[in-house]
Structures are given as C-alpha cells and as structure tokens.
Amino acid sequence: MTTAAPAISMTDRAAYETAIDQAIAASAAYYGDGDTTLDDAAYDALARAIAAYEREHPEHTRADSPTGKVGGGAAPVGDVAHTVPMLSLDNVFDAEGLQKWGASLARRIDGPVTGGYAVEPKLDGAAIAARYRDGRLVQLVGRGDGVHGEDVSHAIGTIVGLPVQLPEPVTVEIRGEALLTAAQFVKANEIRVAHKAKMFSNPRNGTAGTLRAKDRPYVIETTFFAYGAVGLDDVDFLAGETHEAVMAQVAALGVQTTGSTEVGLKVCTTLAEVQARVEEIQTLRPELPYGIDGVVIKTNGFAEQKAAGFATRHPHWAIAYKLAAVEAQTQLLAVEWNVGRTGIIAPRAVLKPVEVDGSVVTYATLHNPAFIRDSGLKINDTVKVWKAGDIIPRIESPVTGLRTGAETDIVFPECCPKCDGEIDKSGERWECAGGVNGSCGLLPSLKYAVGRDQLDIDGLGVTYLETLVETGQVNDLGDLFGLSRAQLAEATGSEKRADSLLAEFDKARQQPLNRVFCALGIVRTGRTLSREIARHFGTMDKIRAASPEALAEVNKLPGANAPKIAAHIAAMGPVIDKLVAAGLNMDEPTTDSGSTASSKPLAGEVVVVTGGMHGPLAGRNRNQMNELIEKAGGTTSGSISKKTTLLVAGEGAGSKLAKAEQLGTKVLSEQQFADLVADHLS
C-alpha cells in the first residue's frame, strides 16, 4: 500500500537548491490559496529527496530548508506561545516503513513496545489547541510554526464537538483537528455562494480559511476531534497513564475525540496488527463523512512515550502512516454543459482519466459559471482533482505553473444546450429560461415524478414518456393524469399496458401529499425535505399559501433556500391545479392506526438505518425505510451521532454499526424493528 510518487534522486547541489525553492513555494501556497504545483504525494517525495541529500551533504543544508520544520516552515504563525510545542508527525508509506519505525522505536526504548500502539485516523483539517479554564472554553490557538500559533478564539461556539462549557470546572488544553465534514463542506459552499464569496476548493482549505476569518457576515460550522491533551496553568487534571485513558477522560468531558470517529481508536499489541488495522481503515475511507489522509500510530503508554522522546519537530513515539493520495493531477479535456431535471445548466469537467484513491475519475463537477470564472480554468489546463470520503470528485484548481500555451478559454453557452432557448443568467446557477415548466427539463422531471420514491407509477418507462412528450400530448406532470386509454394504448403499443397504467395512475392518486409534492421536483428540495414540508403544513393549499418566512420554519430547510422554493411552488401553480382536478390526494395523513403522535412506537427516537433490509422489511430502500420511521413517529438521520437513539442494522452493516456500538446507541435487527413498528408496516 504505497502512495508515494516515484522516488526522486538528487545528486548535485543545483538540483538540491531548485528542490528547496520548489518545496518552499509549494508549502507556502498550501497554507495560502492552495494553488500549488505539487500534489501531496509529489511534495512528500520532494521533501524526502531533500532530506536524503542533506544527510549526504550536511554542509550544503540551507537554513530555510523545509526539513524538520512544522508545515515546511510556511504555516501561518501567530503570537500566542504554545504551552508545549505543537509538533508534526514523521511519515511512513508502507508496511516496510512501519517496520523500520518500529525497529528504531524498540532501539530507543531498549526493547519491544509492551504497552501497545494506539491507532487512530489522521484527520485532514487544521490543528487547534483549545484552552479550557475552570470548565470554560477561553481560547483557541492554531498550530502556527509549532512554537507560536495564531489566536482563533473568534471560532468558539461554532465548532461541533468542542463545547463552550464543560460539565466540570477543569483547566486543561485539549488538542485536536478541526475539519469540515462532507455535509458541512456542501453547506459552507452554499452559504459562500449565497454571499457571493469564492467557493472553498476542498474541506481542508475551507477549514483553514474559516478558522482564520474574523469578520464574516455569516457563520460556517466546523467539527472537532481531539487527539491529545496537555496540562494548562500547572493544573494537574490529566490522570491517565496511556493515550487511550487520557482520550477517555477528554471524551467524558463531552469533547469529541478520535475515538468517536467512525474509525475510532484501537489499541493493537503488535505491528502486524497495526498493519492489518491500517488496511481496514483504508477500506473504510471511501464511506467516511470527512477526509482522512492517513492513520496515526502512537505508543499507548506514556512511560514508553517518554523513553522514546522527541526529534526537533516530531515525536519518536508516533508516526503517520500516509494513505493513498486523494488528490491527483490530470488534464482538463473539455467542459460539458448538461441540463438537469429542473432546467439548471450545469458545467461538468471531462478529464483525462486519473486514478484517485482506488477509482478512476473521468468527470468532476464545475458547479456553476462563477466557479469557472473565479478559478481561471482553461481547456488543456493541468488540474488538481480531489476526492475524499463521500464527497464527489472536484477540481481544486488549475496548476498555472504548468501551462504550455496550448490552453484555450472555456466557452460558455449562448443558449440552452438542449432546447436552444434563452438562458436565465440572473442567479449563480444558470437555468434554461424555459425551466421546469418549459420543454427543457420536462422529460427528466417526468421521469423523476413517476419514480419509485415519488408517485411510483410502474411501467411508464422513459421511451413511452418520450413519445408522449414529443407528440405534444404531455407538456407537464398534470397532463399525464388526463391521458385517455386510447392515448396510452397508442403511446405504449398495447391496450393491456394502457389498462395497467390507468390502474397505476389510480394508485398514484392515493399517494400521500409528501410524494405528490416531491413529484413536482421543486428546486432545493428532495425526498426528505418534501416529507418535512408536507408534515409541517399538512395540505397542498397551506404549502401554496406559505411565505418564504413560513417555509423557513420547516425542520431541516435552510432559510437561504426558502425564497427560491416559494417562487418555484408559485410557478408550479397551473400544474398543481391540474393535479387537483385529476383527483390526486393533496393531504398528508396525520395519524396512523388511530395513534397519536406521542403514542407512536418511535416517538422521540432519532433513527438511522444501515445495511440491506431483509425479512419483513425486504425490498424497502432508504427512502421507504425513512417514510416508515416517520409514520411510526420517529425522526430520521443519515449518520450516527450522539443524537441518534436507535440504529436499524441490516445485512452488511459496517462502520455505522461499529460507531453505534462505540457510542452505546441501541441497535435493532430488521426483525426486532419490524416487530416494533408492526402497526405501520402495511
């Protein structure tokens, strides 16, 4: 499992000097705007070649060499003195490197490690030290150059997992990584776009920028996981003898630790076990809700840590085992402009295929025209492509230093690429002026509307829909329900099919409001929000009458999206009228089986589902499971957190089950869950 770029061998001093300049520039850019010419693996290879040359020719070593410097010497420095230096970690890249580290550690402590190795994720964010005095979070300090850090206390209160007040009046400094989870990253960029600010190119840059920014007119939430703690003001709070014990002490204060990540903290006895654990973590990585760039291995016992000691900038008792790069360089071959189901014209990058973290990436989102303009991208540019956890691949930046002159401007469409109609360029995202109600986007929106999780009209495939649209018989969703048996028989070539479709339409007329609303394909809403909106208002009339302010009250609905949603609902008025006239149900059922909200079996429960459903729940997809949970009075969530009260674990349950067990969350099998909600299973 090696990630390193090919080894660079450096024989002459001129090459060494050039390499130093390159490394300094790259590391300065990494901490600045992120526009570096080197990806992580290439930087690591260069830094190793520099260090090797310096070992051979110590007399040539430049004072500004990045070797042994925290952040390559370019991390932003502040004026708050660290209580104890905040160090870097040395890296290994494969099993052989791990063995070598183990052997040198054993030499240092005069024998094999007996207290075990703590193995935890290397989170890819920004290091911070959180100072608590008498239980109150009073100061946040960035890593800086390891000796002095920048004061980022303005972020207090915006970091999930780092409470402002602890349950006990302790004085301690907790250290860890602040990061943006995938969901926080998406939300942060939505907020940035709404405020006409440049989008973050990746969560790591977003975290660093967010921690540095002082006077933003908006708040971006980040997440914290502790990986260490040190004493503060000579107060002796930390009592444990091992890393694991101290982390447990920190977790008991209500602070999130690496132990509460999906990966967790595991103590291994041997290096062989450590290697196996690293490989397990590698396979977990694509599903994690945030990026990790490696695994950190620490000797668990403090006595052995003390015996191993420190180099200038890193401890000998810990090592970072770097995982395959999630970043790669490739070439931008073309830009495609695709029209989505709601008429949004989305640019997509066509890339020279490149492998990133075990899969081949050929396309990456370019978000919107503003993103292209802000990034200065050109066709044929070398681009940095980035992927982490469950975030879809994205272009981080063009590597302008590698331009050859063969680059050409990206051409923006003059008219809708699908219908040749006008483009509405008034918003951040361009839309076909025909939009959802026009011909553009009609076919995909109809396909969506009849889908299994919306109106669930079986047998109305895209070929039949195409015929109905092309012949002008269907111009919107409402028209579908007005089709005669003869029209359906002609479009599908069979009277039998026409009859079964008519029966399907009748079934669809009985669907609850949330599915009818979802079928409308209102912008910025999906299945979950449609259920929330339907439950909140109860009837279509009330939804139509809702102001943006009233919509913003709906659970899980981001206030910034409410005006667009309200405008779209209003624009869909004529379609809704047709659906009402066609006899579709416009009410959301409020009670089931005569039960009231509080008597429902899942009242007050926050439920997560994982794995495949079998037995009495067989065939239910996530949306249908979520519907069932809500019908039974529960709230649904996609990921396990402290708020989760129940996990339904189906076949193949993996990291979510592990996390639930770690947090002590109640876990039910499919059968146990089915028994619990039996009254709502029909």
Contact residues: ligand IVH, CB under 6 A: 87-89, 120, 122-123, 127, 143, 177, 227-228, 258, 296, 315, 318, 320
Q: Is 266 a catalytic residue?
A: no
Q: Map 13-63 to HEC letters.
A: HHHHHHHHHHHHHHHHHHHCCCCCCCCHHHHHHHHHHHHHHHHHCHHHCCC
Q: Nearest-CB residue to ligand IVH?
A: 127
Measured from the CB atom, the residue of 159 and 518 that comes closer to ligand IVH is 159
Q: Encoding tokens for residue 274?
A: 């450590």
Question: 98 or 320: whose CB is closer to ligand IVH?
Answer: 320
CA–CA separation, 441 vs 522, rounded Å?
Answer: 12
Contacts 24+ apart (CB under 8 A), 534-543: 534/588, 535/588, 535/630, 537/588, 538/513, 538/587, 538/588, 538/590, 539/513, 539/586, 539/587, 539/588, 540/513, 540/516, 540/576, 540/580, 540/586, 540/587, 541/586, 543/517, 543/569
Question: 284 vs 468, which CB is nearer to ligand IVH?
Answer: 284
From residue 322, give the alpha-carbon distance in Å to each of 263, 296, 318, 417.
Answer: 15, 9, 13, 44
Q: How far apart are CA 589 and CA 600, in angstroms?
A: 14
Q: Which residues pair with 646 in a beta bridge?
A: 607, 666
Q: How crowded is the C-beta side of 187, counted as CA atoms within 13 Å?
A: 16
Least Å distance, CB 87 to ligand IVH, is 4
Least Cβ distance, residue 679 to ligand IVH (angstroms): 46
Question: How many CB atoms neighbour CB 212 within 10 A?
Answer: 15
Smallest distance, Å, CB 608 to ligand IVH?
Answer: 25
Is 585 within 8 Å of 512 (Cβ atoms)? yes
Query: Least CB distance from residue 41 to ligand IVH, whole Å?
Result: 15
C-beta closer to ligand IVH: residue 171 or 258? 258
Question: Distance from CA of residue 364 to its chain's centroid?
Answer: 15
Least Å distance between CB 106 and ligand IVH? 19
Residues in a beta bridge with 303: none
Burial of 313 (0-12, 13-18, 19+ CB in 10 A): middle
DSSP state of 408: E
Dist CA 287 CA 657 (whole Å): 13
What is the residue type of 615? G
User: Strand, helix or coil at 622?
Assistant: helix
CB of 367 to ligand IVH, least distance (A): 28
Catalytic residue among 69, 122, 298, 631: 122
How far is the C-alpha of 107 from the C-alpha of 555, rounded, in Å?
Answer: 58
Nearer to ligand IVH, 142 or 512 (CB): 142
The minimum distance between CB 123 and ligand IVH, in angstroms, equals: 4
Among 323, 415, 332, 343, which Cα is nearest to 372's? 332
Question: Are residues 134 and 271 in contact, defined by beta-carbon separation less than 8 angstroms?
Answer: no
Query: Which residues, in sequence order, are CB contacts of 618 under 8 Å at separation 6+?
Result: none
Q: Nearest approach, Cβ of 170 to ligand IVH (angstroms)?
A: 21
Let me know: does 351 contact 184? Beta carbons within 8 Å.
no
Least gap, CB of 22 to ligand IVH (angstroms) = 20
175 vs 515, which CB is nearer to ligand IVH?
A: 175
- Largest separation between any pair of C-alpha atoms in the chain: 91
The phi and psi torsions of 496 (rounded to 5 degrees) equal -65, -45
Q: Which is nearer to ligand IVH, 69 or 631 (CB)?
A: 69
- Cβ proximity to ligand IVH: between 122 and 527 the closer is 122
Nearer to ligand IVH, 193 or 320 (CB): 320
Residue 355: CB minimum distance to ligand IVH, A: 24
Cα separation, 142 vs 150, whole angstroms: 5
Sign, Cα dihedral of 269, 270, 272, 274: positive
Closest by Cα among 132, 141, 153, 22 to 76: 141
**Nearest alpha carbon to residue 383 among 39, 46, 28:** 39
Question: Which of 229/579 has CB closer to ligand IVH?
Answer: 229
Residue 648 burial (C-beta neighbours within 10 Å; 0-12, 13-18, 19+): buried
Q: How far is CA 33 from its chain centroid?
A: 21
In whole angstroms, the minimum distance from the beta carbon of 396 to ligand IVH comes to 20
| Min dist. Cβ of residue 657 to ligand IVH (A) | 23
Nearer to ligand IVH, 248 or 550 (CB): 248
Closer residue to ligand IVH (CB): 177 or 453: 177
Active site residues: 122
